Structures are given as structure tokens and as C-alpha cells.
């Protein structure tokens, strides 16, 4: 037993292993960690019969942080009763009590031309969507008959308080530009009215130095693509967060470039919290799996988020993020960004930058 941070590595399916290998190489270049590699998803089903084997879950529960590739094969199972690979991620989120999902979107100057939005509109975008992950419509009571169906949306004060603190902690760590935009539908929904009241309350009592604004979700959706630079920290509930974070993904130009972090329990969830899950936003991309051309950027930036939020190594995280920018500036591009660089070539270039 050593006292190096323990990282469970779950490569998963499709391009998962290819991009995860790159991220592990980067982590190994900037620190000393004990890696424990385990199966998850479709590969775990073929090996053990379960998408999230007990040994895999136990390893994640004991680790300081978990790095995930992607799960799923992109084809519906021949047997509809067979275990679904995607179940593994939902089970993992629940078992690790991950309630805060962070999706930073930063535009790299070198990638402005691949964004569908005009460069002058996105230049300098640096925002993070903070999405509540364990409440709301996804977890409410539901019922369905052939004639009628309902889903209920429930939020408790305590659930709103703890996710608000994550957003405010992030904003107060960012310095003078710190602003939280809380997104809701308070003109229609009672859960949103409670949301707005509680977020305002936490701001007034605990973070008076942070600027807070409230936006309706329809307005937020529009402004995110027309002027993303006005946003800093976007705080929102589960379903709005699901939709808005995919919308913001467009700004970055490629799904392959985006990282995410899912974090468990307070008190200070942003510094060295044990048990977080870090994964690229993209899926298993079966269409390019095995070609060696996947962008490892999302996975490598997820490793950087792990260093910052999971292991309390912010300075090292900055080094990795700057190296990604520099490699892009030198012209290395995987095919999703219009280039011909392979996964391995990109990683090699990054390692020599480090
Ligand atoms: P899932 O259902 O698992 O979330 P998805 O339907 O969102 O999957 P992805 O697997 O993420 O789809 O792929 C969407 C598209 O983006 C595909 O064309 C894929 O090739 C491309 N893509 C995803 N990740 C990358 C990457 N890292 N590098 C290059 N292209 C990628
Ligand atoms: Mg998807």
C-alpha cells in the first residue's frame, strides 16, 4: 500500500479505451498515481454478465477519483431483456452519490474556425454549466396508462442549497469576473420558484461578494448561442442542465473536446473531494472506434478536472490545460477538428509539451 492517490480507470467501450489510455499517459507524466483498471459497460457484460460488476463498483467506492471512458455499443441489444451497458453509468452515479455535474466550455483560439458559431461571437468564452444531477423530473414519481401519463418534479430546499454552494464556490474561486447565472422557469413552475428563492438566500447569506442573476430557461437557451461570453457559471436543475449543457457543447466546435466532472457530497466539494467521476462528454462513438482517430482532448481535460476538483492539484491541472491549448496552437488536429492527427500523435505531442 502506498499513499499515492488512487484512481480507478474504467476504459469501457468503443473509443473509451483509446481516449482513456491517452489521459492515463498524461496523468502519469504529471504525477504519481496508483491506477486500478476495471471493466464497465458492454465489455463488462461479456466478461462478467453485468454492466457494472461488483468489483468495479467497489474499486470506485474506494478510489480517490474515477476516470471513465465511455460505455455502449451503439446497437440495440438482440435480447431486449439483456443488461444494458448504459445502466452502468446510472448505477455508478447513484452509488457514488454524485449530485453535481460540472461541464466547462472554453473556446480554444485554434478551434474557432470549427465552431458552427461565428468566431467573433464565441472568442473568449469560458463558462461552466453546474447541473443538479440527482433530483427533479428524472427521479420523481411517474405513471403511465395508454391514455395518460405524468412525471413529477420535486426539489427540496436542501438539494437546492447544496448545488448552489457548488456554483458559488466555483464563482468565488474565479476572482473578479465571478458571476452566477441561475436558470429556472419561475414564471410557471413551483419547483423553480423555490429554486430561485433558495439560490438567492444562499447568495445573500453566504456569498454576498458573488454577483447573481436569475434567467428563465428559454431566455438562457437563446443567449447561450447568441452571446455565450456573457456567462460565467450557469447553475441549473437536472433537466434544464441536460439540455443547456448539450447546447453549450456546440460552442466548442467538437463533442470530442469537452470534459465533465460529477462530484459527491459537501462541505467543500470543489477542492480535493474524494469519489468524483470524471469523463468526456462524448459517447463511445462506434462509427470511429478502432480507427485510432478519436480526439483525446475531452478525456485529457477530464483528467485535468480530476486533478483540480478530485485530487486538489489545481496547479498541475492548469499545466495540462495549457499544454492542450499549446498543442492545438501548433496545428495538431484530429479529424473531428478538420485535421489528420491520430489519437496517439496528439497524445505524443502533448507529452512532449509537458
Ligand atoms: P451516447 O449515446 O453514448 O451518448 P452519442 O449518440 O452522444 O453517444 P457519440 O458516441 O458521442 O454519440 O458520438 C457522436 C458523434 O461525435 C459521432 O459521429 C462520433 O464519431 C463523434 N465523436 C464523439 N466523440 C468523439 C471524439 N472523441 N473524437 C472524434 N469524434 C467524436
Ligand atoms: Mg450522447
Residues 121 and 236 occupy one common structural domain: yes
| Residue of 75, 76, 282 to test ligand 1 pocket, by largest number of atoms within 8 Å of CB | 282
Q: Among residues 223, 252, 281, which one ends one of the domains?
A: 252
Let me know whether 125 and 182 are in one domain: yes
- Decide whether any atom of ligand 1 lies within 6 Å of the 255 Cβ: yes
Known binding-site positions for Mg(2+) = 218, 242, 246
ipTM of predicted assembly, 2 dp: 0.94
Please check whether residues 196 and 287 belong to one and the same domain: no
Which ligand neighbours the alpha carbon of 72 most closely? 1
Last-in-domain residue among 220, 252, 284: 252
Q: Classify strands 233-236 and 6-12 as parallel, antiparallel or unpaired.
A: unpaired
Burial level of 65, CB count in 10 A (0-12/13-18/19+)? Answer: buried
Check whether residue 143 and residue 167 sit in a common domain.
Answer: yes
Average the pLDDT over 208-225 and give the result. 96
Last residue of a domain, one of 209, 235, 252: 252
If asked whether residues 274 and 244 sit together in one domain, one would say: no
Catalytic residue among 64, 184, 232, 242: 242
Q: Is residue 108 part of a domain?
A: no
pLDDT mean across residues, the chain? 92
Q: How far is the CA of 292 from the centre of ligand 1 (A)?
A: 14
Query: Is there a single domain that holds both residue 241 and residue 259?
Result: no
Same-domain pairing of 203 and 131: yes
pLDDT band of residue 32 (cuts 50, 70, 90) is: very high
- Domain membership of residue 60 (yes or no) is yes
Looking up residue 124, the CATH number of its domain turns out to be 3.40.718.10
Q: Is 3 noted as a catalytic residue in this protein?
A: no
128 φψ region: left (φ > 0), alpha (ψ -120 to 50), beta (else): beta
Residues spanned by the domain of 179? 116-252
On whether residue 237 sits in a domain, the answer given is yes
Grouping H, G, I as helix, E, B as strand and the rest as coil, residue 120 is: helix
pLDDT tens for each residue of 152-179: 999 999 999 999 999 999 998 766 568 9
pLDDT surpasses 80 at 315:
yes
- Close Cβ partners of 264 (under 8 Å, ≥ 6 residues apart): 96, 97, 98, 99, 100, 273, 274, 275, 276
Q: Quick one: which of 72, 84, 51 has its CA closest to 289?
A: 72
174 flagged as catalytic: no
Active-site residue (options: 138, 151, 201, 326): 138
Write the DSSP string, 66-101. Answer: EEEEE---SS--SSTTSPPTTHHHHHHHHHTT--EE
Ligand 1 binding pocket mutation candidate from 288, 296, 344 (most atoms within 8 A of CB): 288
The pLDDT value recorded for residue 78 is 77
Do 244 and 300 fall within a single domain? Answer: no
Looking at the structure, tell me whether residues 201 and 314 fall in a common domain.
Answer: no
The answer on 203 and 288 residing in a single domain is no
- pTM equals 0.91
- Which segment of 107-116, 231-240, 272-281 scores lowest on mean pLDDT? 107-116
- Does the annotation mark 138 as catalytic? yes
Active-site entry in 185, 201, 326, 344? 185
As for how many domains the chain has, the answer is 2
Amino acid at each position: 500500500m502506498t499513499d499515492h492517490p488512487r484512481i480507478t480507470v474504467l476504459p469501457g467501450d468503443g473509443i473509451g479505451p483509446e481516449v482513456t489510455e491517452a489521459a492515463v499517459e498524461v496523468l502519469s507524466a504529471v504525477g504519481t498515481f496508483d491506477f486500478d483498471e476495471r471493466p464497465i459497460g458492454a465489455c463488462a457484460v461479456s466478461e462478467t454478465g453485468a454492466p457494472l460488476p461488483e468489483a468495479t463498483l467497489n474499486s470506485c467506492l474506494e478510489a480517490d477519483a474515477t476516470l471513465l471512458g465511455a460505455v455502449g455499443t451503439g446497437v440495440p441489444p438482440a435480447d431486449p431483456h439483456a443488461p444494458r451497458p448504459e445502466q452502468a453509468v446510472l448505477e455508478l452515479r447513484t452509488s457514488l452519490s454524485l449530485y453535481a455535474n460540472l461541464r466547462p466550455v472554453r473556446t480554444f483560439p485554434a478551434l474557432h474556425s470549427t465552431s458552427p458559431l461565428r468566431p467573433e461571437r464565441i472568442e473568449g468564452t469560458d463558462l461552466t454549466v453546474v447541473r443538479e444531477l440527482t433530483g427533479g423530473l428524472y427521479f420523481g414519481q411517474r405513471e403511465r396508462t395508454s391514455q395518460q401519463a405524468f412525471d413529477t418534479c420535486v426539489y427540496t430546499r436542501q438539494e437546492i442549497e447544496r448545488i448552489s454552494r457548488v456554483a458559488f464556490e466555483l464563482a468565488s474561486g474565479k476572482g473578479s469576473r465571478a458571476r452566477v447565472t441561475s436558470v429556472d422557469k419561475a414564471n410557471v413552475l413551483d419547483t423553480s420558484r423555490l429554486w430561485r428563492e433558495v439560490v438567492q438566500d444562499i447568495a445573500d447569506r453566504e456569498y454576498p461578494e458573488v454577483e447573481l442573476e436569475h434567467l428563465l430557461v428559454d431566455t438562457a437557451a437563446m443567449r447561450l448561442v447568441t452571446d455565450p461570453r456573457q456567462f460565467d457559471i450557469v447553475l441549473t436543475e437536472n433537466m434544464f442542465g441536460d439540455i443547456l449543457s448539450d447546447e453549450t457543447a456546440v460552442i466548442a466546435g467538437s463533442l470530442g473536446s469537452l470534459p465533465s466532472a460529477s462530484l459527491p457530497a459537501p462541505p467543500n466539494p470543489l477542492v480535493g473531494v474524494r469519489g468524483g467521476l470524471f469523463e468526456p462528454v462524448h459517447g463511445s462513438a462506434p462509427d470511429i472506434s478502432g480507427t485510432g482517430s478519436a480526439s483525446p482532448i475531452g478525456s485529457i481535460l477530464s483528467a485535468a478536472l480530476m486533478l483540480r476538483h478530485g485530487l486538489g492539484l489545481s496547479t498541475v491541472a492548469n499545466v495540462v490545460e495549457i499544454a492542450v491549448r499549446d498543442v492545438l496552437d501548433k496545428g495538431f488536429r484530429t479529424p473531428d477538428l478538420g485535421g489528420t492527427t491520430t489519437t496517439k500523435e496528439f497524445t505524443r505531442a502533448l507529452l512532449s509539451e509537458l
